[in-house]
């Protein structure tokens, strides 16, 4: 069980050298019926690393990060998360999910619970924390995402940007080792994108390991250590953001960038 | 409904020895319960289907196991969605209790009729039936109001 002090204070990220990989995907394949949605994915993510995954729609980027916490099942290959291999073993899957936070495109907050209850649900029932303690941690994270005054409202009463920040805080309450973001800003009104990105940037600055499926190129430039470009279920290119945006190696990357940058 | 009641009252005595046979009232009660359960289950299933997949995914991504997810996330929302349908079903069931007449038990209406048949009974027929009507109305109406209250409680529908 966590004690509240370590949960509240963020431990700075360790240096990347000789630290074991926190996510390791080796030869991962996935099919939906006849459709081959992930083709031989090899990807290793170090602790504290920030990855931005981009690519055209249907390229398998969401599927790939959803495989990491087993919202999707892979059919071939190995995925090891924080030293635990993902197999059919439900215990291990729950163990991994406790330590891997996820933020969805459509927030997926629990509409029948208040913001505070949304945040304390998992710490109380999964981490077996006392309610008082869980609420303390929840308020701390609501403070971090700058909406402590909304704690007793329901998700339906908040704007999209606020809801997404609550969703980020909800994941953080479990003190995850990795955060997965599945297009966190693409369902938001344009004027709300920034507040969510700012929250993500500050999270990145604290050393959180992050995988973001995102088309926010400014965000990628600012925080990403590597950009992963996917197309048709394959990883086409992995590059530093500076190089990826100025001189991508692959034709398909060039084409994609030309299309999204107009 | 009727067929289940007939099975309970006429068929069961054919299969079971007298000693093992429960009271006629208990058999009717079990029959009504089975009938209501089937209807209610179908209503709840409708509610479960109304819950978007994202709710399951969000709960899973937080590490909540299956039954916890059902109890804390899915069912509270699903039941809320079907409160009107649940209220309907339950009110229909209240009125269905009259059907036990066909197997020779007394429901509210037949009790009234029995009372009227008694020469000692002082009040006129109209009064008796109006009073029975009032009882049914009070039961149904108060339950409808209760359902209304449940629906208004908690967060506004999203």
Q: Is residue B158 part of a domain?
A: no
Nearest Cα of chain A lies from the Cα of B48 at a distance, in angstroms, of 14
Point out the residue among B57, B68, B156 whose CB comes nearest to the CB of A125. B68
User: pLDDT value at position A7?
Assistant: 44
Rounded Cα distance between A127 and B65, Å, is 12
Q: Is residue B29 part of a domain?
A: yes
Contacts of B72 in chain A (CB under 8 A): 121, 125
Contacts of B154 in chain A (CB under 8 A): 112
Residue pLDDT, tens place only, B82-109: 999 999 999 998 888 888 887 878 888 8
How many Cα atoms sit within 13 Å of A229 on the Cβ side? Answer: 20
Q: Is residue B129 part of a domain?
A: yes
ipTM of the complex: 0.85
Give the closest residue to A187 by CA, choosing from A109, A73, A252.
A109
User: pLDDT value at position B116?
Assistant: 87
Residue pLDDT, tens place only, B43-75: 999 999 999 999 999 999 999 999 999 999 999
Q: Is residue B60 part of a domain?
A: yes
CATH number of the domain to which B81 belongs: 1.10.3720.10
Give A13's pLDDT tier (boundaries 50, 70, 90).
very low
Residues B73, B78, B84, B90: is their CA dihedral positive or negative? negative
- pLDDT above 70: residue A151: yes
Task: List Cβ neighbours of A136 (8 Å cut-off, separation of 6 or more).
Answer: A4, A8
Could B64 and A110 be called an inter-chain contact, meaning their C-beta atoms sit closer than 8 Å? no
Residue B19 belongs to what domain range? 2-153
- Give the pairing of strands A23-32 and A76-81: antiparallel
Domains identified in chain B, total number: 1
Nearest Cα of chain B lies from the Cα of A180 at a distance, in angstroms, of 10
Mean pLDDT value across chain B: 87
Bridge partners (DSSP) listed for residue A41: A28
Could A109 and B73 be called an inter-chain contact, meaning their C-beta atoms sit closer than 8 Å? no
Look at A46-50, A74-78, B21-25 and tell me which has the smallest mean pLDDT: B21-25
Q: Is residue B13 part of a domain?
A: yes
pLDDT-above-90 percentage for chain A: 81
pLDDT-above-90 percentage for chain B: 44
Rounded Cα distance between A154 and A151, Å, is 8
User: pLDDT value at position A262?
Assistant: 67
Mutate to test the interface with A, among B51, B52, B62, B75 (most CBs of A within 10 A): B62
- pLDDT above 80: residue A12: no
User: pLDDT value at position A18?
Assistant: 52
Cβ contact A1:A128 at 8 Å:
yes
Residue pLDDT, tens place only, A16-73: 445 678 999 999 999 999 999 999 999 999 999 999 999 999 899 999 999 999 999 9
Rounded Cα distance between A160 and A174, Å, is 22
Give the closest residue to A64 by CA, choosing from A82, A48, A41.
A41
Give B27's pLDDT tier (boundaries 50, 70, 90).
confident
Residue pLDDT, tens place only, B107-119: 888 888 888 888 8
Rounded Cα distance between A103 and A65, Å, is 11
Give the closest residue to A179 by CA, choosing from A94, A93, A65.
A65
- pLDDT above 90: residue A121: yes
- pLDDT above 60: residue B158: no
Point out the residue among A97, A108, A156 whose CB comes nearest to the CB of B158. A156
pTM here? 0.83
């Amino acid at each position: 069980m966590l004690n509240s002090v370590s949960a509240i204070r963020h431990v700075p990220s360790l240096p990347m050298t000789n630290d074991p990989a926190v996510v390791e995907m080796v030869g991962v394949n996935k099919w939906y019926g006849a459709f081959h949605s992930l083709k031989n994915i090899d990807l290793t993510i170090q602790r504290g690393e920030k990855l931005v995954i981009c690519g055209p729609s249907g390229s398998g980027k969401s599927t790939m990060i959803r495989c990491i916490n087993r919202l999707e099942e892979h059919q071939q290959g190995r995925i090891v998360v924080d030293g635990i291999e993902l197999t059919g073993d439900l215990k291990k899957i729950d163990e991994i999910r406790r330590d891997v936070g996820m933020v969805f495109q459509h927030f997926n907050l629990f509409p029948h619970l208040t913001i505070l209850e949304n945040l304390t649900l998992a710490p109380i029932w999964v981490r077996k924390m006392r309610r008082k303690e869980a609420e303390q941690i929840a308020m701390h994270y609501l403070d971090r995402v700058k909406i402590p005054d909304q704690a007793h409202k329901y998700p339906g009463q908040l704007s999209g940007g606020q809801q997404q920040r609550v969703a980020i805080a909800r994941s953080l309450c479990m003190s995850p080792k990795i955060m997965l973001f599945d297009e966190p800003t693409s369902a938001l009104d344009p004027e709300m994108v920034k507040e969510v990105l700012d929250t993500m940037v500050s999270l990145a600055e604290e050393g959180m390991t992050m995988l973001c499926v995102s088309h926010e190129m400014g965000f990628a430039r600012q925080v990403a250590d590597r950009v992963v470009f996917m197309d048709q279920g394959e990883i086409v290119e992995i590059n530093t953001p500076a190089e990826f945006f100025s001189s991508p190696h692959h034709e398909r990357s060039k084409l994609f960038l030309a299309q999204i940058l107009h | 409904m009727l067929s289940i009641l007939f099975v309970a009252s006429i068929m069961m005595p054919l299969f079971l020895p007298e000693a093992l046979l429960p009271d006629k009232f208990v058999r009717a009660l079990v029959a009504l319960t089975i009938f209501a359960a089937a209807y209610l289950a179908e209503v709840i299933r409708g509610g479960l289907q109304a819950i978007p997949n994202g709710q399951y995914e969000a709960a899973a991504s937080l590490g909540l196991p299956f039954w916890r997810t059902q109890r804390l996330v899915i069912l509270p929302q699903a039941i809320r969605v079907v409160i009107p349908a649940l209220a309907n079903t339950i009110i229909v069931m209240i009125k269905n209790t009259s059907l036990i007449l066909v197997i020779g038990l007394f429901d509210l209406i037949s009790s009234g009729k029995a009372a009227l048949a008694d020469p000692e009974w002082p009040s006129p027929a109209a009064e008796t039936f109006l009073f029975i009507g009032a009882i049914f109305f009070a039961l149904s109406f108060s339950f409808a109001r209760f359902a209304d209250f449940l629906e208004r409680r908690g967060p506004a529908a999203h």
